Structures are given as structure tokens and as C-alpha cells.
Amino acid sequence: MFDPIRPAVAGRTRLLTPDLRGFGGGPPLGDLAPDLTVFADDVLADLDAAGIDRAVVGGVSMGGYIALNLLRRHPDRVAGLVLADTRSGPDDDAALERRRSAAERADRGDVAAGVDAIAPLVADTASDLLRADLAVIAGAVPAATIAWGQRAMAARPDSTAALAAATVPVLVVVGEKDAVTPPTQARAMAATAPEAELVELPGVGHLSPAEDPGGFADAVLGWLSRRF
């Protein structure tokens, strides 16, 4: 999903996009209990392997939850945060029920496929080509990984206090038309973090780097130039 922004950031900053286990090129999830700490520890291992002591850590949606996990547990490794189309608080009861139901359906192999899997995530103005490209990415994720991820996200703790105590720069990015983690939640995060900036991308849904790679890259690079 971050591939579209690579040309814009090439030569200006180093962009590492780990393949999380169970999703792409990483190891399988196996019998690991659903816990986003698994993914956060994998990110730490990738940083160690690259010889990086501290990094600006960011992510979209679940990636934001993983970045906040690192902030809670290893603040010394986090030089800054990019929180895109995500939230710091836990799921409410309705969201927990939706995750439980989605995980149980995935256990049975019942997952949305093709552009149907993407439609709730992107803005209604997203092109057919973008929807098709994202559908390919989504379609490559095994049903077992979807079930695991839903349960891991449901189990995540509230990171709001950690965000409020953060002493590093924070960039919050949100799509104007994000129906999953809407701008109201992004504004609340930006108001919580002491050193936060907020960028709202017009006409964009929940997958902002893919939907508006130029706007997303400009937001990140501009913030990096001002804060680092």
C-alpha cells in the first residue's frame, strides 16, 4: 500500500515497510496468540537488523495500533510517530462485536473478496483501477490471518495515555471521507499528543497513502522537514 509514495520520498528519507508475518513475505503466524505485540516485536527486529536505534514509526489503521504499541512498550526506540487513519482508543462494544463476527466468519473461510473487500475502506470517488489494485493486496491475505488480526485488534489496550505522555513529534493524517476512523477521532488524537500536527486529506477515505500518495507524501515530508 505504501509503494505509490516511494517515488516521492526516494532520496529524501529512508522508507522501510516491513512485511508483517502472515500477510506477505514474513514468517507464518503459526499458533501464536492474537496480540499486536507480535507485530511490534517483528518491527523492532527489523530495526535491529538494519542497525537503527530510533526511528519515526508510523502506520495506517492497524499499522497505527502497532506504532502505538511500540510507543507504550519501547518509547526509547521511537523518534516520532505517523498515525494515519487510525485511533489511540480501544474498540467500543459495537466494534468488538463486529470484530468477533468477522473473525468467526474468517474462521469458516467467509471473507469479502475483490472490490467488495475494498469498497467500505476507500472514498466513493476512488478509481476502479485503484480499487482493483487494492483488491489484489487484500485478496492475498489468508482468511486465518484476517481472523487473527481481528482478534488481536480487539484485544489491544487503550493507548491514549501513552500518546498524551509522548515527548516526540506526532503527525496525524486522516482522509476527509474516512468512514472507519473518521476525522473526529484524528482530531482527538492530535489534541491529545503534546507535539502533534494534523493533516486532513480532502476526498480521501481510510487508505490515504494509496488513495492520495502525493498528498500523503507531502504531508509526511513537510512534517519531517519542520520537526527533524
The residue ranges of every structural domain in the chain are 3-89+157-227
Rounded distance, CA 17 to CA 31, Å? Answer: 24
Q: Return the percentage of the chain with pLDDT > 90, whole number.
A: 92
| pLDDT tens for each residue of 192-214 | 999 999 999 999 999 999 999 99
What is the structure's pLDDT at 93?
Answer: 97
The pLDDT-based confidence of 113 (bands split at 50, 70, 90) is confident
Q: Would you identify the CATH topology of the domain 3-89+157-227?
A: Rossmann fold (3.40.50)
| pLDDT tens for each residue of 11-67 | 899 999 988 999 876 788 989 999 999 999 999 999 999 999 999 999 999 999 999
| pLDDT tens for each residue of 132-159 | 999 999 999 999 999 999 999 999 999 9
> Which residues share a beta bridge with 200?
174
pLDDT at 1 over 90: no
